[in-house]
Structure 1
């Protein structure tokens, strides 16, 4: 069956016996067009199932009122919540968003940037993929004068506004808490990728050990992609050591959950024998048994602030250079049963 021809403003004009330019002005809420005509045009557009050509409109008006958002993956509660925060602000200003996933794939990220630029988006908000080390595609965006704001996974290689959590402080707080629970052999799951958030979490881990005179053991640092299966294999690797750790701090909640699964399968008590802590405050962390200690990244707030910084670009005069801003949110340590080792031992002693 042949596709129906696309409805244009000319079809609406013909139906109402008015000019196409009048239809165009009415659809764009031009004050020179009467309210009666605007209502008639909108009614006809709905009846004919008219779909505006955003690219053509962007070419005519210089604005598409669409923002491109790039996330590594959309199925994580963290990224979904950040996007929700961005949309809350954007929708109030009559902007819509296009959400794209890079899947931490550099080539996919480059292709997505090209596609968004071709779609004439008014700007791009992105969280950089784990495998991205060349930022030419983002620089190309800036060279075209397209506003760019980064969140969570950022880089100082680009002069753009950024919003992030204090990953160093979050990791430091976790390790400090584990030390206060009496832990002395604290393992850490990190990423081999050159991503700022994981480097900062590793730095926080090492500094906390140093500040509290707790030994650092190279064999207790496990590098992986920090997924559930990586947490499982990392815990299995740690259990092969002559002396297993008495705590595990994972730079992601997924890695922590994988470690918890293995320990429970091996009948190793958590937190009495091994305390567990993650990072991210994914929804499942409060439902595990025991519930996982983690770090809240205030994702909704991060999304709102990211959007606010993005819209600052449109308040800047054409001949004025926007000064990039870096916003660093303070994380919150959420202590749950998986790390309360001291309390567990005290309860056991009182039995």
Structure 2
């Protein structure tokens, strides 16, 4: 359609025999327009294929209706699901989501945040890279009065809201489950504990052992990347060092999958000889030959709540004090065949 054929608010006003000002107010959800008139204007605008001028809307409202979501890796179901939650909450309100991935590179993270700020982004959602130590690029977002929301991975930064799950409890519940199934020599294969999520999962693992008068003092401690290869390597190291163990708690499902593969390749019976529990409830975990016990993180809900926190802050205005909320979601333990050594009780 050429520029001269483009539908304008004047076309809508002529069709409905109302003023262009009323059409404009209805399209911008003004309280000065009745619900009946607003619905009629919106219906007519859709019928005529009217599209608002995004630049004009941005100039008038002071918003671009674009938000950035920065994640370490896009090819993880967890992060994709968080993004889905953010989109489901914000798209009905006219927002568009720009997705960036850092590949766990702090320098790239800083570059992407600057690029987003250069587009006058309305808000930033971020799960930080495992190599992020210098916080200057995050402070730059705050200094620009742009809402910044951490989800899952976070840093200690005043004036920033966070949405996460209780990683400590998730790990505590998973290890307690293994103990209740009769396992006592439980190995922890975790991620880089410079990241809060892996530190909290490790603390939950230790606390569960101590609560049941067990110890990891003489057991090896693994800090590895979240990959299948890490799980394979960890199991190989355990057998090469002749470590006596009967269960493995993994801080990610990908590590757990690698552990299961290597155990099976050695002819180890799961869960009779070794139990395995992962973390994240990735989609593949319930479709394995031995479905994997794991801890769910409710990522879609995490995304929705992060978006709600953003909306609360953006609607308060740029001159308001930065909103600082700390929302902690409850994890869910999924017990499946890789850890169910004992038959569940059955009642007649």
TM-score by length of 1: 0.83
* Residue 12, structure 1, aligned to residue 3, structure 2: yes
- What does residue 266 of structure 1 align with? 266
Question: SS state of the match for residue 164, structure 2?
Answer: strand
Matched residues in 1 for 2:126 and 2:88: separation?
A: 17
Q: How far off its partner does 1:315 sit?
A: 2.6
Q: How far off its partner does 1:317 sit?
A: 4.7
Question: SS state of the match for residue 292, structure 1?
Answer: coil
Deviation string for 1:45-87 (max 9, x for gaps)? 88xxxx9675x86456421111111111111111111111111
**C-alpha distance 105-158 of structure 1, shift in aligned 2 (>3 A):** farther
Deviation string for 1:227-254 (max 9, x for gaps)? 1111111111111122331000000000
Matched residues in 1 for 2:338 and 2:112: separation?
A: 40
User: Where in structure 1 do 4 or more consecutive aligned residues deviate above 4 Å?
Assistant: 13-16, 42-46, 51-54
Matched residues in 2 for 1:120 and 1:91: separation?
A: 18
Q: Judge which range, 236-245 or 162-171, deviates more.
A: 236-245
Question: Contact 1:131–1:193 at 8 Å: present in 2 too?
Answer: no
- What does residue 208 of structure 1 align with? 208
Matched residues in 1 for 2:281 and 2:269: separation?
A: 22
Question: Contact 2:158–2:324 at 8 Å: present in 1 too?
Answer: no
Question: SS state of the match for residue 343, structure 2?
Answer: helix
Aligned mate of 1:30, from 14, 18, 24? 24
Query: How is 1:174-193 mapped onto 2 (pairs within 5 angstroms)?
Result: 174-193=174-193
Question: Contact 2:147–2:322 at 8 Å: present in 1 too?
Answer: no
**C-alpha distance 65-218 of structure 1, shift in aligned 2 (>3 A):** farther
- What does residue 123 of structure 2 align with? 123
Matched residues in 2 for 1:44 and 1:335: separation?
A: 51
Question: Contact 1:154–1:196 at 8 Å: present in 2 too?
Answer: yes
* Residue 237, structure 1, aligned to residue 237, structure 2: yes
Q: How far off its partner does 1:321 sit?
A: 1.4
Q: Judge which range, 321-330 or 310-319, deviates more.
A: 310-319
Matched residues in 2 for 1:95 and 1:118: separation?
A: 18
- What does residue 294 of structure 1 align with? 294
RMSD over aligned CA atoms reads 3.3
- What does residue 281 of structure 1 align with? 281
Question: SS state of the match for residue 88, structure 2?
Answer: helix
Q: Which runs of 5+ in 2 are unaligned?
A: 11-19, 28-39
Q: Which runs of 5+ in 1 are unaligned?
A: 1-6, 20-25, 347-351
Matched residues in 2 for 1:45 and 1:327: separation?
A: 39
- What does residue 349 of structure 1 align with? none
Q: How far off its partner does 1:217 sit?
A: 3.3
Question: Contact 1:220–1:245 at 8 Å: present in 2 too?
Answer: no
Question: SS state of the match for residue 343, structure 1?
Answer: coil
Question: SS state of the match for residue 171, structure 1?
Answer: helix
Query: How is 1:101-250 mapped onto 2 (pairs within 5 angstroms)?
Result: 101-217=101-217, 219-250=219-250
Question: SS state of the match for residue 70, structure 2?
Answer: strand
**C-alpha distance 91-272 of structure 1, shift in aligned 2 (>3 A):** same
**C-alpha distance 317-80 of structure 1, shift in aligned 2 (>3 A):** closer
Question: SS state of the match for residue 24, structure 2?
Answer: coil
Question: Contact 1:181–1:340 at 8 Å: present in 2 too?
Answer: yes
Q: How far off its partner does 1:341 sit?
A: 1.8
Matched residues in 1 for 2:178 and 2:246: separation?
A: 9
Question: SS state of the match for residue 97, structure 2?
Answer: strand
Deviation string for 1:99-143 (max 9, x for gaps)? 111111101111110111112211111111111111111110010
**C-alpha distance 100-172 of structure 1, shift in aligned 2 (>3 A):** same
Q: Judge which range, 277-286 or 176-185, deviates more.
A: 176-185
Deviation string for 1:129-175 (max 9, x for gaps)? 11111111111001011111111111223421110000000000011
Question: SS state of the match for residue 125, structure 2?
Answer: strand
